[in-house]
Amino acid sequence: MLRIESMHVDLAGHTVLRHVDLQLEAGQTVAVVGRNGAGKTTLLRSIMGLAPARTGRLLLDGEDITRKPAHRRAADGFGYAPEDRVLLPTLSVMQNIVLPCEVLRVPRHEIRQRIDAVLVSLPQLEPMLARSGAALSGGQGKIVALARALMVGVRFVLLDEPFQGLAPALARQYGDALRALRVSHPQLCVIVTESNASLLDAVQSRTLHIERGAVREETGGAVRASEPEPSASHHG
Ligand SMILES: Nc1ncnc2c1ncn2[C@@H]1O[C@H](COP(=O)(O)OP(=O)(O)O)[C@@H](O)[C@H]1O
Ligand SMILES: [Mg+2]
């Protein structure tokens, strides 16, 4: 469904992602695990079109979207919850989660259907909807940020370190919500980053490790390189 082909991303003249080769499929919950500075956020930003690739391609159902601007990626069904999720404090929670759909001119009945689907997995959202975006705890804010990403991310939802800073009970609730998505949104591809794999609460169906900008697939406990060996392919 989404194919990343030998992608390199530079930031401020430094290579931050190096020959990333990945295939992401509908229905997967993919964990991207790596320490701080490994390139997790940059990987998500590159998928969203916010960190342009120096080389390589991003193919969605075979269509080359490498140079497609970020605001048009959202219309392709990508939702993103950045680490520093920002809710607008002057708007209600409902207005916060509906706003991206309104920007994309999603019809009102479709917005209603999406809210209903989101509430199946996130029932704790319902009593928050009328409240101000400013009146939420950290854990509630993460649930709202997830809901907002789900409202536009009908095919992909990218969650940047959502478990960070959650108390254990709230982390378990968040993990339960991600597992419930497999039932309410079975075709959705969820990509969730984390620096501490144990925080993930076994939500993933697949694990990728990222180290110094190189992504490796974890296969049955072993970690296998997902790109050619350095000797087989020389880059810049
Ligand atoms: N705007 C930027 N300009 C230059 N370097 C950056 C920028 N953002 C991140 N980096 C560098 O890119 C690397 C990967 O960063 P990042 O993707 O944020 O990692 P992670 O999310 O895994 O902590 C780090 O070495 C970081 O210092
Ligand atoms: Mg990060």
- Domain that residue 137 falls in: 26-43+67-225
Number of structural domains, the chain?
Answer: 1
Residue 215 included in any domain: yes
Q: pLDDT tens digit string along 91-138?
A: 999 999 999 999 889 999 999 999 999 999 999 999 999 999 888 988
Q: pLDDT tens digit string along 55-72?
A: 999 999 999 999 988 877
Residue 62 included in any domain: no
Residue 30 included in any domain: yes
Ligand 1 neighbours by CB, cut-off 6 Å: 11-12, 14, 16, 34, 36-42
DSSP conformation letters of 32-58: EE--TTSSHHHHHHHHHTSS--SEEEE
Closest by CA position to 27, among listed 178, 187, 180, 206: 187
pLDDT of 75 reads 81
**What's the gap in Å between 210 CA and the centre of ligand 1?**
13
Q: What is the CATH number of the domain that holds 203?
A: 3.40.50.300
User: What atom of ligand 1 comes closest to residue 210's alpha carbon?
Assistant: 22
Residues of the chain with pLDDT under 70: 220-236
pLDDT of 221 reads 52
Residue 121 included in any domain: yes
Residue 37 included in any domain: yes
